[in-house]
């Protein structure tokens, strides 16, 4: 089966998932490629259709053991046609739970054929010391090897469902969809009204007229606004957020390793 175009698809507020997907796609640099950044609200409003000569590399971070809801919604509107897909899940070195299973279920329901899957620990959004700096050099080596092996495998593939992928996770899902976190985004008096937070917010829940006005019910706590703010005026509610960071600290010393499988 001949691949004519490679798509890189991801939802990646702190850009580690994007980095992993980009790194895999480097093995396909001789092919025309297109990036679909589902972090951007406007990109999630589009309808995307693919054929069997496309290869889609799709990345999702674990959000409480599931795919971020906005990404799950957007992917559920993708339309494949026996389209080969590479499933990529990232997580903050704590637990992936049902993230990869959910990605697998959504993509197969939309008529994509999983040809490979990879799981990669990446720096945790909520605690930089957790998987700090990952994907690091060692991870990138593994990710590049995955990309090259995948490209070589696809070059000689005549059909795509040769071997079943071992997808970790449970179905029906053990993890419920992500609930509301006990902390929310706060804005301090250091705010300089640059509106970068409103521009970057994947959920468009920060008012462009007033960055103090946030729809906390629809906010997914992705941390994009904290990351972009040049005045460090955004933070998560201190007490409950510090309590979560304390729980996450237990996972700092145990380095989890990447995993991948190619059909």
Residues near ligand FMN (CB under 6 A) are 12-17, 61-65, 90-95, 122-126, 221-223
Closer CB to ligand FMN, residue 12 or residue 22?
A: 12
What's the closest the beta carbon of residue 21 comes to ligand FMN, in angstroms?
9
Q: Which is nearer to ligand FMN, 82 or 237 (CB)?
A: 237
Give yes or no for a contact between 241 and 209, defined as CB atoms under 8 angstroms apart. no
Is the alpha carbon torsion for 103, 23, 226, 94 positive or negative?
positive
Q: Are strands 185-187 and 234-236 parallel, antiparallel or unpaired?
A: antiparallel
Q: Which is nearer to ligand FMN, 197 or 263 (CB)?
A: 197
Residue 263: closest CA among 169, 167, 150, 158: 150
- Give the number of C-alpha atoms closer than 13 A to the C-alpha of residue 116, restricted to the C-beta side: 27
Residue 186: closest CA among 227, 145, 216? 216
Q: DSSP secondary-structure letter at 152?
A: H
- In the complex, what is the shortest distance from the CB of residue 244 to ligand FMN, in angstroms, rounded to a whole number? 10
Name the minimum Å distance from CB 1 to ligand FMN: 30
Contacts of 33 (CB under 8 A, 6+ apart): 5, 6, 7, 8, 25
Q: From the CB of 77, what's the least distance to ligand FMN, in Å? A: 21
- Judged by CB, which is closer to ligand FMN: 119, or 154? 119
Judged by beta carbon, residue 70 or residue 154, the one nearer ligand FMN is 70
Give percent helix, percent strand, percent coil of the chain, each to the nearest 5. Answer: 30, 20, 50
- Please, which residue, 196 or 219, has the CB nearer to ligand FMN? 219
Minimum distance of ligand FMN from residue 97's CB (angstroms): 6
- In angstroms, give the least distance from the CB of 113 to ligand FMN: 25
Cα torsion 243, 247, 253, 257 to 10°: value is -120
């Amino acid at each position: 089966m001949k691949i004519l175009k490679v798509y890189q698809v991801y939802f990646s507020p702190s850009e580690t998932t994007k980095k992993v997907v980009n790194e895999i796609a480097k093995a396909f640099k001789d092919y025309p490629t297109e990036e679909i950044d589902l972090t951007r609200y406007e990109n999630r409003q589009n309808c995307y259709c693919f054929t069997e000569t496309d290869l889609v590399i799709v990345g999702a971070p674990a959000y409480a053991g599931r795919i971020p809801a906005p990404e799950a919604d957007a992917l559920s509107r993708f339309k494949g046609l026996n389209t080969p897909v590479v499933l990529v899940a990232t997580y903050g070195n704590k637990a992936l739970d049902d993230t990869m299973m959910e990605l697998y279920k959504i993509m197969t329901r939309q008529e994509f054929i999983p040809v490979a899957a990879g799981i990669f620990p990446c720096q945790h959004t909520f605690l930089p010391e957790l998987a700090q700096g990952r994907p690091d050099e060692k991870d990138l080596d593994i990710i590049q090897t995955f990309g090259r092996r995948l490209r070589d495998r696809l070059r000689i593939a005549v059909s795509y469902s040769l071997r079943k992928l071992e997808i970790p996770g449970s179905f029906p899902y053990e993890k419920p969809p992500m609930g509301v976190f006990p902390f929310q985004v706060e804005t301090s008096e250091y705010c300089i009204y640059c509106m970068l937070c409103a521009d970057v917010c994947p959920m468009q829940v920060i008012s462009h007229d007033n960055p103090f006005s946030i729809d906390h019910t629809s906010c997914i706590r992705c941390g994009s606004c904290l990351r972009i703010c040049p005045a460090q005026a955004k933070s998560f509610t201190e007490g409950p957020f510090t309590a979560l960071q304390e729980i996450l600290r237990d996972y700092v010393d145990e380095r989890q390793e990447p995993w991948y499988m190619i059909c």
